[in-house]
Amino acid sequence: MLPALVFLALAVFAGALLWSPHAGRAAYLHLMLATGAMPLIFGAMSHFIPVLTRTREAGRGIGIIPVAALAGGALAVAAFSLGGINWGWRAGAVLAMASVLALFVWSRKRRAAMLGNPHPCLGWYEAALACLFAALLAILATGVWPQYFPGLRHLHLHLNTLGFIGLTAVGTLAVLMPTVTGRPDAGAAQRLRRDLPWALGGTLLIALGAAWLAPLAWLGLIAWAVALARMGAAWLQLYRAEIISLHGAAPLLAMATAGFALCLLAGAAATAGAALDPAAVFIAGFLLPLVSGAASQLLPVWLKPGVQNAWHGDMRRRLGRYNGVRALLFFTGSIAAGLKQEWGLLLSAATLAWFLLQAAASLIPARRGEKSRR
Query: Hey, how many other C-beta atoms are within 10 angstroms of the C-beta on 275?
Result: 9
CB 207 within 8 A of CB 154: yes
At residue 19 the predicted structure's pLDDT band, cuts being 50, 70 and 90, is: confident
Q: Which of 223, 243, 263 is the last residue of a domain?
A: 243
Rounded Cα–Cα distance for residues 191 and 120 (Å): 9
Nearest to 23 by CA among 345, 272, 250, 362: 345
At residue 271 the predicted structure's pLDDT band, cuts being 50, 70 and 90, is: confident
* Same domain, residue pair 208 and 293: no
**Phi first, then psi: what are they for 321, rounded to 5°?**
-65, 125
Q: Note whether residue 314 is domain-resident.
A: yes
What is the pLDDT averaged over residues 48-60?
91
Model confidence at 117: pLDDT above 60: yes
* Same domain, residue pair 271 and 183: no
**Phi first, then psi: what are they for 296, rounded to 5°?**
-60, -35
From the number of C-beta atoms within 10 Å of its C-beta (0-12, 13-18, 19+), residue 87 rates as exposed
* Same domain, residue pair 63 and 95: yes
What pLDDT digit, counting tens, does each position of 171-204 carry? 999 999 999 999 999 999 999 999 999 999 999 9
Q: Note whether residue 373 is domain-resident.
A: no
Rounded Cα–Cα distance for residues 225 and 114 (Å): 33
Residue 362: predicted pLDDT = 84
Nearest to 73 by CA among 35, 119, 40: 35
Model confidence at 364: pLDDT above 90: no
* Same domain, residue pair 107 and 6: yes
Q: Which of 243, 271, 291 is the last residue of a domain?
A: 243
* Same domain, residue pair 86 and 158: no
SS3 content of the chain, % helix, strand, coil (to 5): 85, 0, 15
What is the distance between the terminal CA atoms of the chain, rounded to a whole angstrom? Answer: 24
pTM of the model: 0.94
From the number of C-beta atoms within 10 Å of its C-beta (0-12, 13-18, 19+), residue 82 rates as exposed
* Same domain, residue pair 303 and 351: yes
Q: Which of 83, 118, 153 is the last residue of a domain?
A: 118
For residue 191, give the amino acid letter. R
> What DSSP assignment string belongs to 249-318?
SHHHHHHHHHHHHHHHHHHHHHHTT----HHHHIIIIIIHHHHHHHHHHHHHHHHS-SS--HHHHHHHHH
Q: Note whether residue 64 is domain-resident.
A: yes
Residue 306: predicted pLDDT = 79
Q: What is the DSSP letter of 58?
A: P
* Same domain, residue pair 237 and 259: no
Q: Note whether residue 333 is domain-resident.
A: yes
Q: Note whether residue 53 is domain-resident.
A: yes
Q: Note whether residue 128 is domain-resident.
A: no
Nearest to 284 by CA among 210, 206, 338: 338
Who has greater pLDDT, 96 or 372? 96
Residue span of the structural domain in which 149 resides:
135-243
* Same domain, residue pair 193 and 86: no
Query: Hey, how many other C-beta atoms are within 10 angstroms of the C-beta on 357?
Result: 12
* Same domain, residue pair 271 and 339: yes
Radius of gyration of the chain (CA): 20
Q: Note whether residue 123 is domain-resident.
A: no
Q: Note whether residue 129 is domain-resident.
A: no
* Same domain, residue pair 72 and 93: yes
At residue 84 the predicted structure's pLDDT band, cuts being 50, 70 and 90, is: low
Who has greater pLDDT, 279 or 364? 279
* Same domain, residue pair 208 and 161: yes
Which of helix, strand or coil describes residue 86? coil
At residue 311 the predicted structure's pLDDT band, cuts being 50, 70 and 90, is: confident
Q: How far is CA 28 from the centre of its chain?
A: 16
Domain count, the chain: 3
* Same domain, residue pair 57 and 151: no
Model confidence at 366: pLDDT above 60: no
Give the mean pLDDT of the chain: 92
